Chain A
Amino acid sequence: MRPSVNRPPTPDVQENQEKEPTLQETINIKLIESGEKERLMELLRERLVECGWKDEMKAICRAFIKKKGRNNVTVDDLVHVITPKGRASVPDSIKAELLQRIRKFLVSAAL
């Protein structure tokens, strides 16, 4: 058995410490560490289901698979097909709600 198999699946954090993280990266790490990112993702997931966005994406995927044949489609193909439409069709109200939540988090984290 190869010795590398027993290594943990994530790299040492120290390796990446050399370069200074940007503000965006810092915020992202803060979000993850506090668990807020998990909650935001759960909220987003719920909102996208409620507004029908998920069903819409599902329909596009189904149509694409029907067109190509179900053995000739990969997850990457599907992601590639729905990404532009998916990004464009997220309702503004949901974006605003999430932005609001992130702002609130930043204020509370800065204090």
Chain B
Amino acid sequence: MSSKINSNNNNNHRINGQISLQPCTHLADFRSRHRSNPFRALQDCLRIKPPGGRAAIRRDPSEVPLCGVCGDSGGGRTRLYACVSCAAVHCHAPPGGGPSHAAAHAESARGGHEIAVDVDRAELFCCACRDQVYDRDFDSAVVLAQTAASTLHAPPHSVTTPTTIRLPQPENLRKRRRIDYRPWTPDPRERSLMGSSSSPLNGTVSDSDSNSDSRSNDLLPWGLRGLNNLGNTCFMNSVLQALLHTPPLRNYFLSDRHNRFYCQKKSNCNGNGNGDGIVNRRNASNNERNNNSRMCLACDMDAMFSAVFSRDRKPYSPAKFLYSWWQHAANLASYEQQDAHEFFISMLDGIHEKVEKERRKPHSQGNGDCCIAHRVFSGILRSDVMCMTCGFTSTTYDPCVDISLDLEPNQGGSAKMASTKSNHASNGEVDCLNSSQNSGISTLMGCLDRFTRPERLGTDQKFFCQQCQVRQESLKQMSIRKLPLVSCFHIKRFEHSSTRKMSRKVDRYLQFPFSLDMAPYLSSSILRRRFGNRIFPFDGDEPEASNELSSEFELFAVVTHTGKLDAGHYVTYLRLSNQWYKCDDAWITQVNENIVRAAQGYMMFYVQKMLYYKASEKQVAA
């Protein structure tokens, strides 16, 4: 937010052309008059209610601030501001909302008294511009004080004292780079190059089909092809259908980024070549390695993409893929029913592992540049654990390829549920939330709210506080530090109760939106809720992660499960060109979106809105 500049003061500075950081002239004046440390007096008055409370401005903790003119305590229609120059407290209301004694004070003092601080929020305000203003030094001081609040009355080995709250000296203005999207159309040279060195995907297959077949083919979008059930493999087919239509994954394979012919040659050279000597030397181990190197899930994916997008509509049998996956996950190799989510994790892992072997370079999973699976699916979760005694917070970052969500506890009130969710039941906040949400049905947003809600860890799972040097009760909060390109939400419908040694399936309905904004669950939002509106870089890294554009997601696939825990059936609903299709193994039918909304979702696949091309899907088909 930028501040309005009075017309008589027209020397507005621009820092690196960033309008958002352009200071109000009054704030700039104030800073230049008090060069050394303009907010020194304020820092001693920062009060934070530990642990993790909001910052407020009070001279002493029990003080009740009142407006110097009217004696208002800021409870009703006004806000209270303390002038940062002379410390006078005044109330302020927007024009039409009553008198503003703060603005009157700024005017009567003839300059220098425009900047004030909100006593309850510790945020700066310019009474002349009548707008919020932001100052890096002030904001970072508040955040530091908030994080160090507890340290002040902590054991003596902590070195932080009120006077040593240091301000980061350089105004590290990071320029945000953004590249505009420009649609690409081939120029004549590129067009001829494409024509001469590639063969069109639709060969003669559709022509050889019967007429009625080819006509219906043309109506359907590309890539819709049933997958044969190879013996209880609907768990695999359902996930594969979702993956085959994951926009970034589809683009990767269809643009020949992983060519199975090239890949096989390479692994043959590396693996056995024709070197008899190697084979003789390490016979058994080399055989194993041969098998491994020949097994490449990404190659099988590539083959599958070619087959599925070949315009042949006859159901395809992913037998080779299944065989490769069995080699990768030997413990799951059987014709029994498996969990679709387990398969999803296992096959992403398989693609990742293969790439790692090829490059022989350790890659951290979190930054997502290691392999296509993680580039598309991996995000980073942030978990803050705060000690309830001293307020010390330890933060950890964990890579994830999906987010597993608990269904909200049953409002209908089955006693069984309450017992299985014992660690949540101890959380008072969750309980009061439930009472307020009695009426509603569970929603995906509700699950995400619960996921990012501060959760009190019970007495049985105390966490070792580095500052107290003992195990303490703590408050844990999850948030999403980096969003993946494709978010996969897994709903924990299969419940395992350790006390009863029993598993069961939760059949409750969960509402999920077709468009989802993930912004409230990002670390930046969670931290903003904790610290207030500041321009201090909380995460210590670039703000791109909280880019508003990329927090909007569109649903494109839902994997549903019907039946019981040990026997059931998986079906995938796909959204292509804004039309829904039901993929039930070999059969694909067009369905109404209400059927999808009513389905019992087990895994939901959302893609970043900028990657979800509604219109371009049609172009490809044409």
Contact = CB atoms under 8 A, between A and B. Distances in A.
Interface in A1-46: 1-2, 4-11, 13, 15-16, 19, 25, 28-29, 32-33, 37-38
A8 B66 contact: no
Contact of B41 (A7, A11, A32, A73): A7
A83 interface: yes
B119 A74 contact: no
A76 B98 CA distance: 12
A110 to B, nearest CB: 19
A80 B95 contact: yes
B520 to A, nearest CB: 9
A71 interface: yes
Main secondary structure of the interface of A (DSSP, over half): helix
Nearest to B429: A46
A1 B34 contact: yes
Interface in A74-94: 74-77, 79-80, 83
Contacts of A29: 64, 73
A38 B350 CA distance: 52
A74 B129 contact: yes
Contact of A16 (B62, B66, B437): B66
Contact of A70 (B2, B58, B85, B96): B2
Nearest to B440: A50
B115 to A, nearest CB: 12
Interface string B13-36: 000000100000000000000100
Contacts of B73: 25, 28-29, 32
A13 B84 contact: no
Given A2-B85, A8-B87, A33 B95 contact: no
Contacts of B119: 10
Contacts of B59: 8-10
A108 interface: no
A73 to B, nearest CB: 8
B428 interface: no
B522 to A, nearest CB: 16
B65 interface: yes
A79 B87 contact: no
A76 B88 CA distance: 21
B622 interface: no
Nearest to A29: B64
B99 interface: no
A10 B94 contact: no
A74 B103 CA distance: 14
Interface in B74-96: 75, 82-89, 94-96
B59 to A, nearest CB: 4
Interface in B115-130: 117, 119, 125, 129-130
B111 interface: no
Interface in A49-100: 50, 70-77, 79-80, 83
A9 B115 CA distance: 12
Given A72-B4, A75-B125, A76-B94, A8 B64 contact: no
Contacts of A19: 71
Contacts of A33: 62, 64
Contact of A9 (B45, B71, B130, B433): B45
A77 B85 contact: no
B256 interface: no
B1 A4 contact: no
B604 to A, nearest CB: 21
B34 A79 contact: no
B2 A9 contact: no
B537 interface: no
B132 interface: yes
B143 interface: no
Nearest to B73: A28
16 contacts: A4-B86, A4-B87, A5-B34, A5-B40, A7-B41, A7-B86, A8-B59, A10-B45, A10-B57, A10-B82, A11-B89, A50-B437, A74-B130, A74-B132, A77-B94, A83-B94
